[in-house]
Structure 1
Amino acid sequence: MNAFKSPWFRLGLGTGLLLLALWLFLSVLREAYDVGYAKARDEGRIALETLRGEHQEQELARARTAETSAKAATQRLQEEVARNDKLAADLANQQRIHRQTTDRLSGEIARVNDLYRKALDAEPEPLPACVFTAGFVRVWDEATGARAPMPETADPVRAAAQGTDAIASEQLDSGISQSAVLAHHVRYAEQCSNVAAQLDALIDAVQEKH
Structure 2
Amino acid sequence: MVVLDRLPSGLAVAALACVLSATAAGSIAYGVGFRYAQALGKSELETLKTNHAEQALAADSANRVQLLQQITRATEAEALLFDAFDRFTEEKRQLQERIPHVTTQYIAAPGAVAKPIPRCVFTAGWLRDYNTALGVPTSGQGTAATSSEKAAWPATGTDTELLESGVTPADILAHAQDYGVWARSNLVQLNALLDLQEKD
Q: Does residue 1:93 correspond to 2:76, yes or no? A: no
Q: Does residue 1:69 correspond to 2:59, yes or no? A: yes
Deviations 1:60-118 (A, max 9, x none): 11122122222222332332233223323322221221111111111111121222222
CA contact (8 A) 1:142 1:149 kept: no
User: TM-score, structure 2 length as denominator?
Assistant: 0.73
Unaligned segments of structure 1, at least 5 residues: 1-17, 152-161
Q: Does residue 1:56 correspond to 2:43, yes or no? A: no
Percent identity, aligned pairs only, is 24
* Structure 2: distance between partners of 1:59 and 1:105: 68
Indicate the structure (1 or 2) with the bigger Cα radius of gyration.
1
CA contact (8 A) 2:121 2:164 kept: yes
* Structure 1: distance between partners of 2:163 and 2:116: 23
CA contact (8 A) 2:99 2:174 kept: yes
Deviations 1:111-133 (A, max 9, x none): 21222222222222222222222
Measured on the aligned residues, the alpha-carbon RMSD in Å equals 2.9
Shift of the alpha carbon at 1:19? 6.3
Shift of the alpha carbon at 1:20? 6.6
2:133 equivalent in structure 1: 143
Q: Does residue 1:191 correspond to 2:182, yes or no? A: yes
Give 3-state SS (helix, strand or coil) of 2:166's partner.
strand
CA contact (8 A) 1:91 1:197 kept: yes
CA contact (8 A) 2:125 2:156 kept: no
* Structure 1: distance between partners of 2:181 and 2:59: 45
Say which of 177, 195, 199 aligns to 1:204: 195
Deviations 1:132-187 (A, max 9, x none): 22221111111112342768xxxxxxxxxx765x2x22222222211111111111
Give 3-state SS (helix, strand or coil) of 1:122's partner.
coil
Give 3-state SS (helix, strand or coil) of 1:175's partner.
coil
* Structure 1: distance between partners of 2:18 and 2:174: 116
Aligned amino acid, residue 95 of structure 1? F
* Structure 2: distance between partners of 1:120 and 1:97: 33
After TM superposition, list the pairs within 5 Å mapping 1:88-167 onto structure 2: 88-148=78-138, 166=158
Unaligned segments of structure 2, at least 5 residues: 1-7, 142-154
* Structure 2: distance between partners of 1:178 and 1:56: 81
CA contact (8 A) 2:99 2:170 kept: yes
* Structure 2: distance between partners of 1:163 and 1:204: 45
Aligned length: 180
Shift of the alpha carbon at 1:190? 0.7
